[in-house]
Structure 1
């Protein structure tokens, strides 16, 4: 050790006195003050013989030996070498008989050295050079203390500042005796502290099946030892040494481990490199060994972590499902959780969060799974059917138990009670455009859930088929098939009655009866009527079912007397025909020989029994009428009547 100290002293003395040194050329015709140094080296060249270059007519040029053109030379000029390399500096004389002369020059690359300044307890700093490009390194603490020179194989130093604060440390390289001290310095800040603080882990997160990420708060220029304990929080091994000159938040990702098989506890130790001791410890935070398994109608979560005690006092656990935290939080004594709020075939993600004081967290690996179930889905109980007005299409809608996640519905259609598959769909509605009203068609539905479980068939749903007729007196009878398809049955049927223009005339609540007699004979304005039946369920959440539209047309019935007495007594003096819903009318009257006695196109006019002003004899006469009704239909009507002479 004493020998090394003497060498360092000699080096420093040499550096202080090196300005007096001179190096002679091969033939001693000139000398230089430097022959070695870093790029950017300046060499003063002095002529050693008389007369010197530039005097008494002696002309000289200097050749730098690095490819640059030779330049005129005068004793005392400076030769600059901007790049690294080995060169031969040469002086060329113009005087006859005077030999040229030269000297070798060695120039090394000039770069600031890499080093790390560390904080220590007691206002000390430790400086470590992390390279070996130079033979020696010179330390300057910028506090008026002397520079320190250390050989490359021992390029570290400890310095004691008088007070805490931020200081600048400079280090430059030096290639030893006979070398110019012109290498550039590197200057870095260092935090001088009376007491080194502890690091603070803020989060531990399992990133994937082979790595864990640890975030921790740090102080600049402190050297840390990153410690790991496997499946315990007491026995640690050093993973690596960490240093950052300026960062206040550091992240360390540990690869090639097995966080799904083990949990890992982490601690960050603050190192005092001056004393080679640990100055402080962070809290211990552990990763979570977490698993999630899909079971019948439940997802089972389980985990393991170091027990809550000492330097790692857990506060609670929190389960995060599909990026949403479930409440309440779980106690630290709990190591599993069963989620029953799931739907078969649905994908879920889970992550467990362990909470420590001061908002410190440990996050598990995110687990994804799909819920499973072997439960047989509930059969569909409520189907509604809406028949289009023409009765050649029906739209089915149904309600399915929301506890099951259906992926495919199968519709079955009956033909006289024999059910066969009609179609499949993933919607809760379907339109059958092959339906025919009045064909005794019914439907059943079953479905498969996301776990491939098949429900039973639904009860049959039979659309409302409406039929009717018009009696001779124009009384209208309508009947319909009772609706089936609702678990709780029909509450009531409503009849909507429209005229031929589609204007709603009345709405009739028919209770649960499936027939209705419309005896409204007083309406002589409307001849065409449209009827639609609406079925309403006892379950008010179910949509209504609707029948086909039924059109019924009343007859344009004609009425006439069997005889009349044309005697001008004001009673039954003319023969006329009256009718309902008549838009056009033409009538002719004939005697028994087929002679036409009378004709009119006015239904309100009648025959007075005369022909060409002569009263016709008592006899049987015949009328023939052509009419068109409000519905645009044409009819021929005829009949006979008796002309009576009444005194």
Structure 2
């Protein structure tokens, strides 16, 4: 039970006591409660303390007043009692209120939430002389404690938004947007400022009550855009359908996006299970089964407005492997207008095709090689709404042929180790040998049976060339000059004709004079892919011990060359002949074997010298050719060493241990290891004459 606030005390204490005793006697006689009279079915009302409007529901924290109805006589405040009792049709114990007479205001608290009974006791005025007992009336109410309004905001088309309440408890709701005039909150959208922060204030009120509750949210809502289906990509290998990926653009979050399909003889229908949520203005949708058709994206907002994207058809790619070519066929659903096609092949080739074509013949294929194709169509109109593309399934074809492949191109050349290196390249302008092919190289020498080497296999990938190294000894090759030829067997079992023979130049070198001060070179004619009739051009290369080129002659057409002045500082002179022309491809050359001229080292000394200081023949100097890695020693007649050097620039003035020269005969010895590794010893005598 709640105690009500007390009215002002009467100024006369005697009268107060009298009235209280009379009221107490009357209450003890009261029938409790009393049904209201028919003429006054609501003997009192509960009104809002602020507005004076009658309320039917009491709200926690909102004060109310109790007012006697006009259809009954008014009761003096000192004889009128109100008390709020929890429960329905509840009364105070013994129908005796514990509140103060005249207290007519009441503020519900959280403890009062639920059904309550407002109990009124009115006593007759004893001073009027009218007798009778007090009368008790009751009325039932509900005390509520509603939470602040909760709501969501969803963007709609036309720069509007829909507000949806997520709780209840108020008789009416209003909304203010960006400080504008309040408007009744209904199921209709409200106008917003696009692309910026908007402030929404929702206020709940209860009928007749002056108490209000408000909730504020500030949100930047996405702006509704025309959705775009930018790209449709088939992910499988079947031209008739399969998985596919849809790349969407202009699909901000806050809206519902649905894929729709139009197939043969059918209007557009929603593809089951394909609602998509937008993201950062883009989204990707992948489906497991996408039949041929035309597709679009439907955007639906919270207000029920729907907008559609552009249409993108499926693109199917099929084909067959014909004799030496792959024939591809395009199937664009509905015959949409195409700006251009781009055909990608697995080896990296990309072919651009006009938008009006529907087939393509790929003749640049090699037998037995597998090719994967992917076709992309750029649709007409992409400049208005952005690029629209549809991508086909992946088509795999293995090229077939019954036509023999072109004979390979063979070039025979020597390396610096005097091994023949035979290089086979694709013939007839082909860039590579196809995967799985075989090149069989054979060697033919005059008077000897042909020698066929083990096949060179291309393996699982195409290669631009195959190389064979023939380790046959150079002496054997010089005795029987070889020529090399090859055939190609492709994966389909077709065998080419035999290639033109390639015969490397074989070089021999000999001294043109007894001392080897000049060299005579001779070589056999080089034969290239052009055959014997295609002449070659030659150049003689002079090499260092490491193979570096020291000199190169002018171009020659003959098969001999005289080097009149080989390097004097080298015991062994190395030569190599470079051949070009003869049907060789541009930039390709062939080398002969490395031929050498080995010359004998020699020390030249006088028989005497005169260390007398006259400036003539005063010292012993070491002169000669190819003096490297040597030791020179001079001994006296007793066998004692008087001079030693390993440097030909060092001289001997005849002194011995710092003493002046002594006229006598001396013996000298030269020990040397030549550039060819052979030892050499040379001895003699030298006489000192002063």
Q: TM-score, normalised by structure 1?
A: 0.52
More strand by share: 1
Q: Which residue of 1 aligns with 2:469?
A: 432
- Pairwise mapping of residues 69-80 of structure 1 onto structure 2 (< 5 A)? none
Question: Shift of residue 302 of structure 1?
Answer: 0.5
Question: Shift of residue 385 of structure 1?
Answer: 0.9
- Pairwise mapping of residues 192-231 of structure 1 onto structure 2 (< 5 A)? 199=226, 201=228, 203-206=230-233, 208=235, 209-211=242-244, 213=246, 215=248, 217=250, 227-231=260-264
Question: Shift of residue 378 of structure 1?
Answer: 2.5
Q: Which residue of 2 aligns with 1:589?
A: none
Question: Shift of residue 423 of structure 1?
Answer: 5.6
Unaligned runs of 5+ in 1: 1-11, 34-47, 53-74, 89-102, 149-155, 309-313, 558-579, 584-626, 637-647
Q: Which residue of 2 aligns with 1:548?
A: 593
- Of 338-347 and 349-358, the range deviating more from structure 2: 338-347
1:295 aligns with 2:321: yes
1:480 aligns with 2:523: yes
Q: Which residue of 2 aligns with 1:534?
A: 578
1:380 aligns with 2:408: yes
Question: Shift of residue 315 of structure 1?
Answer: 6.0
Instruction: Sort the Cα spacing of 1:189 and 1:398 in 2 relative to 1 into closer, same or farther, 3 A.
Output: same
Given that residues 216 and 249 in structure 1 are in contact (C-alpha distance below 8 angstroms), is that contact kept between their aligned partners in structure 2?
Answer: yes
Q: Which residue of 1 aligns with 2:502?
A: 461
Picking from 488, 491, 511, the partner of 2:557 is 511
Instruction: Sort the Cα spacing of 1:550 and 1:364 in 2 relative to 1 into closer, same or farther, 3 A.
Output: same
Q: Distance in 2 between matches of 1:582 and 1:164?
A: 102
Q: CA RMSD in A?
A: 6.3
Instruction: Sort the Cα spacing of 1:222 and 1:30 in 2 relative to 1 into closer, same or farther, 3 A.
Output: same
DSSP 3-state at the match of 2:187: strand
Q: Which residue of 1 aligns with 2:150?
A: 112
Q: Distance in 2 between matches of 1:338 and 1:15?
A: 87
Q: Deviations over 1:333-384 (max 9, x none)?
A: x444445566654555432222325044432235444564334432222414
Given that residues 201 and 214 in structure 2 are in contact (C-alpha distance below 8 angstroms), is that contact kept between their aligned partners in structure 1?
Answer: no
Given that residues 320 and 353 in structure 1 are in contact (C-alpha distance below 8 angstroms), is that contact kept between their aligned partners in structure 2?
Answer: no
Q: Distance in 1 between matches of 2:568 and 2:351?
A: 71
Q: Which residue of 2 aligns with 1:622?
A: none
Q: TM-score, normalised by structure 2?
A: 0.50
Q: How many residues align?
A: 468
Q: Distance in 1 between matches of 2:192 and 2:152?
A: 24
Q: Distance in 1 between matches of 2:364 and 2:154?
A: 56
- Of 540-549 and 406-415, the range deviating more from structure 2: 406-415
- Pairwise mapping of residues 540-579 of structure 1 onto structure 2 (< 5 A)? 541-552=586-597
Q: Deviations over 1:501-551 (max 9, x none)?
A: 9996883755253x56x5969999998654433222234615222222233
- Pairwise mapping of residues 43-58 of structure 1 onto structure 2 (< 5 A)? none
Instruction: Sort the Cα spacing of 1:184 and 1:359 in 2 relative to 1 into closer, same or farther, 3 A.
Output: same
Picking from 135, 138, 141, the partner of 2:175 is 141
1:304 aligns with 2:326: no
Instruction: Sort the Cα spacing of 1:548 and 1:398 in 2 relative to 1 into closer, same or farther, 3 A.
Output: same
Given that residues 256 and 275 in structure 2 are in contact (C-alpha distance below 8 angstroms), is that contact kept between their aligned partners in structure 1?
Answer: yes
Q: Distance in 1 between matches of 2:282 and 2:506?
A: 77
Question: Shift of residue 210 of structure 1?
Answer: 3.1
Q: Which residue of 1 aligns with 2:74?
A: none
Question: Shift of residue 290 of structure 1?
Answer: 2.3
- Pairwise mapping of residues 250-265 of structure 1 onto structure 2 (< 5 A)? 251=283, 253=285, 255=287, 257-259=289-291, 262-265=292-295
Picking from 446, 451, 454, the partner of 1:418 is 451
Q: Deviations over 1:540-581 (max 9, x none)?
A: 615222222233457999xxxxxxxxxxxxxxxxxxxxxx99
DSSP 3-state at the match of 1:199: coil
Given that residues 574 and 595 in structure 2 are in contact (C-alpha distance below 8 angstroms), is that contact kept between their aligned partners in structure 1?
Answer: yes
Instruction: Sort the Cα spacing of 1:186 and 1:207 in 2 relative to 1 into closer, same or farther, 3 A.
Output: farther
- Pairwise mapping of residues 52-201 of structure 1 onto structure 2 (< 5 A)? 112-114=150-152, 116=154, 118=156, 127=162, 129=164, 134=168, 138-142=172-176, 144-145=181-182, 147=184, 157-158=187-188, 185=215, 187=217, 199=226, 201=228
Q: Which residue of 2 aligns with 1:318?
A: 341
Given that residues 257 and 297 in structure 2 are in contact (C-alpha distance below 8 angstroms), is that contact kept between their aligned partners in structure 1?
Answer: no
Instruction: Sort the Cα spacing of 1:556 and 1:217 in 2 relative to 1 into closer, same or farther, 3 A.
Output: closer
DSSP 3-state at the match of 1:306: helix
Instruction: Sort the Cα spacing of 1:491 and 1:371 in 2 relative to 1 into closer, same or farther, 3 A.
Output: farther
Question: Shift of residue 490 of structure 1?
Answer: 4.2
Given that residues 342 and 353 in structure 2 are in contact (C-alpha distance below 8 angstroms), is that contact kept between their aligned partners in structure 1?
Answer: no
Q: Which residue of 2 aligns with 1:615?
A: none
